[in-house]
Amino acid sequence: MWYTLKIESLDNSINVYVDDALKIQDPKDLVANNHENISRVALTSLYNNVEFGPIKVGRVSDYSQKINEKTEYENYYPLSLLALSKSRYDIFRDNDLSAFSKDTIIRSDELKIDNSTFDKYLDYVNEGGRLIVINTNNDFNQSFSRLFHIRSNATNLEPFESISSNKSGKLLIKVTGRVNATQIEPLSDEKIIASYQGNHNQTIAPFVIEKSFPKGGRITLINAGGYFNTISNFPRQYFLSLSNVSKLLGFDSGRVTSSTNTSIPIKGFIGDMETSGVITLNSSSISLVNETNYSNTINAHQIEIVNKANGLYKIFDNVSIKSLRLVGGYNVIINYTGDWSYPI
């Protein structure tokens, strides 16, 4: 079992994380200029053989993301679920609409989206795509949860003993915890795939609900709050059970390619990517950040647009690009000469 230790030195505190979970937070005394509260971090092992991986040291931007339990729920557990399924997957920024080129999209229901992007998700499932939405806070009035006819008692936590598949009646996960009592109105286009079960096999709340669309598209809602809370409280006992959820969702693990374990770290950037000279960027996904520190306007000497499927070929000279939003599958090549800093 591998653990990742992260030490983060910020302006007002020093934070120590284990597997992205905050374990120590030591405030800095800025008045006394005491920036050395933690001088050493020790890694010890008792009656176990251990192997230490490479140490990575780098600087992060001032607006670095704080890792907390909510971030762990929204990102860490879903990514772990995908990794345990041994399926191939890609990761996109929240505002990167090239994700719509994929057959299946997984996202958190807590992430806010504008009406235009929400409509694009609806177009995606109406045309046959599959959207998997993970709800972790029992608030079913959010972007996609409100599409389901769910009634939840936010003050009534009930114990559950397992998560079972409604299709086969087969036990999916033997896991105990507490979840908000929740009911769903039976409709022709909605069905419960799996449920939280009590100690007498009674249904406490739906775990996975699916809404179908005429052209084969689906929205799959995972009511994961109770389950993720149990994993957080008992990670050694229940973490690997995430692989059972991937099987329930039907991820294809047969196409995974073989891999070799290596201690060489992945090459990448920490902070902004700064380049100089003759630059060529070739990517299948690009998005422009909308922050005050960066201009959201690009002045291009020339733009070429090519669509080999229908023979489209257009050239535009001396144009300015603002709020660029590309949807679906595409390939972008940017040629630039000079100095360029790009946020990663």
> Is the same domain home to 37 and 171?
no
In whole angstroms, what is the distance from residue 191 CA to residue 223 CA?
14
> Is the same domain home to 78 and 185?
yes
> Is the same domain home to 59 and 112?
no
How do residues 78-130 score in pLDDT, each as one tens digit? Answer: 888 888 887 788 888 777 888 898 899 999 887 778 888 899 999 999 999 99
Q: What percent of the chain has pLDDT over 70?
A: 80
Supply the Cα-derived Rg of the chain in whole angstroms: 24
* The pLDDT value given to residue 213: 93
**Domain contains 229:** yes
**pLDDT > 50? residue 62:** no
Average pLDDT over residues 224-245: 87
Residue 59, domain extent? 1-64
* The pLDDT value given to residue 30: 52
- Confidence grade of residue 207 (pLDDT, cut at 50, 70, 90): very high
> Is the same domain home to 237 and 284?
no
Residue where one domain finishes, among candidates 47, 64, 81: 64
pTM: 0.63
- Say which residues have a Cβ less than 8 Å from residue 64's Cβ, sequence separation at least 6: 8, 10
H/E stretch holding 78 reads helix 77-85
Average pLDDT over residues 293-315: 79
* The pLDDT value given to residue 343: 62
**Domain contains 264:** no
Average pLDDT over residues 2-28: 81
* The pLDDT value given to residue 130: 94
* The pLDDT value given to residue 12: 73
In whole angstroms, what is the distance from residue 9 CA to residue 329 CA?
39
Residue where one domain finishes, among candidates 49, 64, 79: 64
In whole angstroms, what is the distance from residue 52 CA to residue 21 CA?
19
**pLDDT > 90? residue 222:** yes
Of residues 26 and 224, more confidently modeled: 224
> Is the same domain home to 78 and 164?
yes
Average pLDDT over residues 229-246: 86
